[in-house]
Structure 1
């Protein structure tokens, strides 16, 4: 998670806070969010992921009766692929994290896990693009307007929570979010540890405005692309190319956002390193146990529907 606590997510399939711009990326949110919950909830979240994904898409665009069957099929196809193609890689990454979390943590190690997670997200997006293209070609102007309204509502909530006019309130909101993930991995923290972490949250909070501007810019690019597709009805291959360009946009922001993007990323990595290296041996053991439970759940999910067919929409 850029600009937030990374270690809790670093071995997960996505950076949760980044994926708010399209339905396939929201599926990845569900995968990542499930993996950040208690172990039993992780399994349940993944098992219900297709329903959660459809609910989110419907909430954003009000799926029509004609769109519903193909949308549900596309989601099922994505999860079947993800179970076979990505859960093994996620299990390996979790295993690596379990070994590393008991040792001193370096910025390079955190960056390694972040890069690996982003590569998994990139492959997931690539896999979903043919089905996404089909879906975008069916959107109506009213559905796009609804999507834009939902973005605005989400941004208002974001500003209220993380861009409070009171600097103290702004820092407290970010600190609470950081500690939520830190406790998930390491368990409880002493008052002295929390005080030290609070100091390290400062650079993350200072980058909040730039991070929000980047978020809004991505949304605007997405809406611009979706409107173009709806108005011109280009060939599916061209829509896939547009989606690929958009993926590059959010993984490699343009120059006007690059400096703040890198600053936020560096602040998040530094915060992760600081938290990891102030933990006690007992907290590190708690983290290793947590990762092992995630590993066990991932293996259990891999065994479920292991023989389910995986189809591609690329030839449709």
Structure 2
């Protein structure tokens, strides 16, 4: 996982973390992104997750007429599985966060939430691998070239926002993103609190170039995997094994340099999240607990929707 603070916050405060490959990333991120947009958006975002996921895949691939039905079916299967298998665990994780947020927060507590969310995300990816393999086996060279083009466009925006301009400009852009997540959970912050958070961002900023280099490496690995499958058309079981290896490297980058950078970024994110949590007042902690409770309520509502739909289908 990226060590950036926003990813650590996602791990602590959202049901699933940022562990997703670039191909299926949006499918697995729908729920987390909806949470991070606000309480009212979470339920609506999840309910529309299949449409949003298809839109994202089509944006990157330009899905053909022949690919569209199996792609939509695969997304529907994923969300049906996720509702049944992961929403209960997400509810438990959010409940734990609601209780923890009222107390002083330790780095180990944040790391535990991160590990739990990463575990859920890896389970999601494993569940989706057979369908991702099927889609990979149908990609054309033009579609893979389109993915590469979209990566390049995204990287240009990333560099412009986080790696260009003066050191002060880069730090300001990252600080704004950090505070967006912090305010979502805790509400407003005083000037003194914001100054303390800004002062604690040093280790996070030091890892900026390494995070970008890892981003590029993961994209290159994904494109290489897609082109290997397109050119050799291996058996589906072999494609699934390639996907599993890709996911392993995402979670645990190979090589001492990449692994050390990965660990340093994670530690920087955990340290900053701990600092922010322990700067908050009782009023801010109460705001966070209320926010979590609303997310828990929405999660329960989504689970009940599934149960109601299942019962209705059985009676038809």
Residue deviations 1:144-166 (CA, integer Å, cap 9, x gap): 00001001111111111111231
Instruction: Identify the residue that residue 162 of structure 1 maps to in structure 2.
Output: 162
Residue deviations 1:244-297 (CA, integer Å, cap 9, x gap): 000001011112311111111100000000000010000000000000000000
Does the Cα contact within 8 Å between 1:3 and 1:268 map onto a contact in 2? yes
Does the Cα contact within 8 Å between 2:20 and 2:125 map onto a contact in 1? no
* Matched residue SS, 1:283: helix
Instruction: Identify the residue that residue 171 of structure 2 maps to in structure 1.
Output: 171
Residue deviations 1:171-199 (CA, integer Å, cap 9, x gap): 00100000000000000000000000001
Does the Cα contact within 8 Å between 1:95 and 1:291 map onto a contact in 2? yes
Displacement, 1:37?
1.9
* Matched residue SS, 2:5: coil
Residue deviations 1:200-234 (CA, integer Å, cap 9, x gap): 11211110000000011011001001000000000
Higher helix share: 2
Poorly superposed stretches of 4+, deviation over 3 Å: none
What are the ranges of 5 or more consecutive residues in structure 2 without an aligned counterpart? 311-316
Does the Cα contact within 8 Å between 1:207 and 1:264 map onto a contact in 2? yes
Residue deviations 1:27-54 (CA, integer Å, cap 9, x gap): 1122210121221100010001100000
* C-alpha separation in 2, matches of 1:94 and 1:238: 37
Does the Cα contact within 8 Å between 1:14 and 1:118 map onto a contact in 2? yes
Displacement, 1:19?
3.7
Does the Cα contact within 8 Å between 1:8 and 1:182 map onto a contact in 2? no
Residue deviations 1:50-73 (CA, integer Å, cap 9, x gap): 000000000000000000000000
Say if 1:186 and 1:202 are closer, same or farther in 2 by CA, change over 3 A. same
Instruction: Identify the residue that residue 84 of structure 1 maps to in structure 2.
Output: 84
TM-score normalised by L of structure 1: 0.94
Instruction: Identify the residue that residue 222 of structure 2 maps to in structure 1.
Output: 222
In the TM superposition, 1:155-304 aligns within 5 A as 155-255=155-255, 256-304=257-305
Instruction: Identify the residue that residue 115 of structure 2 maps to in structure 1.
Output: 115
Residue deviations 1:111-132 (CA, integer Å, cap 9, x gap): 0000000000000000000000
Displacement, 1:307?
6.1
Within the alignment, does 1:48 sit opposite 2:48 as a pair? yes
* C-alpha separation in 1, matches of 2:153 and 2:309: 38
* C-alpha separation in 2, matches of 1:141 and 1:296: 45
